[in-house]
Chains A and B, each alone.
Chain A
């Protein structure tokens, strides 16, 4: 069994990370009734004897003593991290796992990347190495950050290069929150484009998310909860946004519901690697199957069901509804419509009481309405995990490598160009040592290259399937 380390950077990253650890504890508490530290828990948590001072406290087997998250928390201002450390999750984090500064990055990618990057490089490396040493077999780094700000965007992507050099064999999965249309940070297009270049080059796999989609999902759930349709009551624990039963009992803050969705995404992604099932899928298989070309590693994700009705036994129809929903544009975690774009590959990760026949039936049913690229017509990767998430009897996470991410990138580029043409706010960046106008141009051309690749694939959409001649050999 392998371990993963979560690196949460910036305000957004740390807030999502906090929700993630909360829900992870909840999930393991529900599954692990006996309180024995087993391999599933060890993928994200260490078992530590807190009475021992220093590093010798790790316990590898036996009863759970005190769980410490395998995490590194980084923020260039103290507010968020301090709040976490004073909250109910303070015991889950080791004070040695934090890196903070006071002034913040001022929503400036260059400050995050160049200034703080060089300032904290050694410290960051040290903490990462420490957390890697605590792992028996480290498989993956999960980086959580936002693209629009300064720390998450700048320092977060600086990290990627460090990780690639220091731990070349370990996968880097990045959960990036992209700025929505009505973002309140004016320089977010600059920050995002500069960060994209790093993601293009140094990440193994990126899961783009945007706030607007998360918000829409929440509105839908609220509508359902409040509509009070006759005979429908929703199990509170089952909301994909809820933290019922989790450690944090205080009044939920506004972004909590949205962050919980992302936290659930990460939990479901790793469920088949942590828990048993009849068709397991490990994290290295995600990259292997869903990334046909190294550049195209952006995966659109969707989680269903969003909630479970309390009084209904699940007939097959509802199960099928879950599959259909996964492909609808309302359930995607980013503004995208996969059904009307071209699929390069698709993964379905099912949890709970679902069998292979249900999976096959639904794939057969949905295939005709989806367009797959001509050379990967059968591009499905499936996995079945027996352990359902808390509050549900089954759930589905769909990851799609689909050209529907293109519009997001194109919009971003447009917003960037609007600012850049006027050279607005540029001086904040250029006054940082190491930043020049060429950095901007390089970033834009990297993004343009990516968009072009998606365009080329889209162009093949309407072409007939090429019939490749078989190799002819002398008999």
Chain B
């Protein structure tokens, strides 16, 4: 079954590119440890999920690129085309000329309705190309205007139009010390809207990814593409095909369905996080000695202690969904776990964000930018309330 990816905004598009790249590289990696038959079955399964075939044999990613200004989508499309190994569909891109200005209200209330038809048409075309649709994977950031505002709108539309398909939103939690000043407002509004219309929210924090790059991968000057590659690596390990009950060479057919089934038992608790080990640069691989049991133990420790990296562990639990080592760099292990730790994250970050926001809101700072486009103070209040409820539910667990 296939997954259609929707990449929104600068962040979404930059990450989306890295994800497809990682998926492709992984499934076509020459260093496999399994038999040829295995490899082929794996490749076929992976390909079907994320790529569709085109005439000249170059796989085309099942993705729709959306941005309100052309620079990033142009860059992404050309990077993919230049790599020669895979590319995006020629017509799968929708962009406008003027961005959303980091304004959630602009993305949601202006761009959303204005471009609803065109965007949904593009998605429809992508869906029609699939034999059977597993669901949607929507990549967006929470701090900006397009990813967050338009992303929330699009997710809502998908909920209405494709109510039988599952939707997983990959959201990026911005750096604590600010990338965008109004990121708190944008994040709160996004989270509250997504909570109502999405099936699962997979959260990645820029801070955590940054630390992974710095400590574990030893990159000196970390760029956004480094951070995105780590993210893509983690996502790859989640989405790559895993064995089904029938045994080897048969892969589970419904990736999103499986994930949701195990990880989102109750619609109140939708937030997910990823722990991935080992995380290291390719160079160090030669010097590492891992065993499956060792990795599992380490992972358990990480989960229990709520840490995102292998170092600096601390304590909390839930059994991970087990998958199988993917072909590629090393045996990857990923614990995608239903998340008390994300709950903690929500609570902690929620505290920062909320107090920052309530403070700002009390003084009505920046609110005039949002009311210009139809988001009133009541909307903010609604969002706050919903999220407080979520936080309370998690606390009660």
Residues of A with C-beta under 8 A to B102: 284-285, 288-289, 381
B71 and A473 within 8 A (CB): no
Docked pose: A377 CA to B181 CA in angstroms: 10
Residues of B with C-beta under 8 A to A39: 70-71
B396 close to chain A: CB less than 8 A:
yes
By the criterion of a CB under 8 Å from any partner CB, how many residues of chain A are at the interface?
A: 49
Q: Contacts A2-B98, A279-B10; is A467 near B178 (CB within 8 Å)?
A: no
Determine which of B72, B181, B360 lies in contact with A280 in the assembled complex, contact meaning CB atoms within 8 Å.
Answer: B72
A148-193 interface (Cβ within 8 A of B): none
B179 and A380 within 8 A (CB): yes
B319 close to chain A: CB less than 8 A:
no
A357 close to chain B: CB less than 8 A:
yes
Docked pose: A122 CA to B14 CA in angstroms: 47
Residues of A with C-beta under 8 A to B145: 285, 288
B222 and A357 within 8 A (CB): yes
B153 close to chain A: CB less than 8 A:
no
B56 close to chain A: CB less than 8 A:
no
A35 close to chain B: CB less than 8 A:
no
A interface footprint on B339-366 (CB within 8 Å = 1, 0 otherwise): 0000000000001001110111011111
B103 close to chain A: CB less than 8 A:
yes
B310 close to chain A: CB less than 8 A:
no
B interface footprint on A344-359 (CB within 8 Å = 1, 0 otherwise): 0100000000011110
Docked pose: A13 CA to B53 CA in angstroms: 58
Docked pose: A179 CA to B14 CA in angstroms: 46
B99-121 interface (Cβ within 8 A of A): 99-103
A446-475 interface (Cβ within 8 A of B): 466-473, 475
A376 and B101 within 8 A (CB): no
A interface footprint on B222-247 (CB within 8 Å = 1, 0 otherwise): 11110100000000000000000000
A interface footprint on B35-78 (CB within 8 Å = 1, 0 otherwise): 00000000000000000000000000000000001111001000
B interface footprint on A318-356 (CB within 8 Å = 1, 0 otherwise): 000000000000000000000000000100000000011
B125 close to chain A: CB less than 8 A:
no
Residues of B with C-beta under 8 A to A367: 177
B385 close to chain A: CB less than 8 A:
yes
Identify which of A249-257, A290-298, A300-308, A428-436 touches chain B: A290-298
Q: Report the nearest B residue to A283, measured CB to CB.
A: B101
What number of A-B contacts does a CB cutoff of 8 Å give? 150
B368 and A293 within 8 A (CB): yes
B101 and A466 within 8 A (CB): no
- What is the minimal beta-carbon distance from A170 to any residue of chain B, in angstroms? 10
Q: Contacts A280-B71, A375-B359; is A382 near B225 (CB within 8 Å)?
A: no
B369 close to chain A: CB less than 8 A:
yes
B356 and A471 within 8 A (CB): no
Q: Contacts A355-B222, A471-B384, A473-B385; is A379 near B97 (CB within 8 Å)?
A: no
Residues of B with C-beta under 8 A to A29: none
- What is the minimal beta-carbon distance from B224 to any residue of chain A, in angstroms? 4
Determine which of A284, A356, A378 lies in contact with B223 in the assembled complex, contact meaning CB atoms within 8 Å.
Answer: A356
A14 close to chain B: CB less than 8 A:
no
A interface footprint on B73-101 (CB within 8 Å = 1, 0 otherwise): 00100000000000000000000011111
Residues of A with C-beta under 8 A to B362: 375, 468
Pairs A-B, 6 closest by C-beta atoms: A284-B101, A380-B178, A375-B359, A357-B222, A292-B365, A468-B358
B residues whose Cβ falls under 8 Å from a Cβ of A: 10, 14, 69-72, 75, 97-103, 145, 175-182, 184, 210, 213-214, 219, 221-225, 227, 351, 354-356, 358-360, 362-366, 368-369, 384-385, 388-389, 392-393, 396
5 more contacts with CB within 8 A, not counting A293-B368, A471-B385, are: A279-B224, A282-B98, A292-B366, A294-B368, A356-B227
A residues whose Cβ falls under 8 Å from a Cβ of B: 1-2, 39, 136-137, 139, 276, 278-280, 282, 284-285, 287-294, 345, 355-358, 360, 363-364, 367, 374-382, 384, 466-473, 475
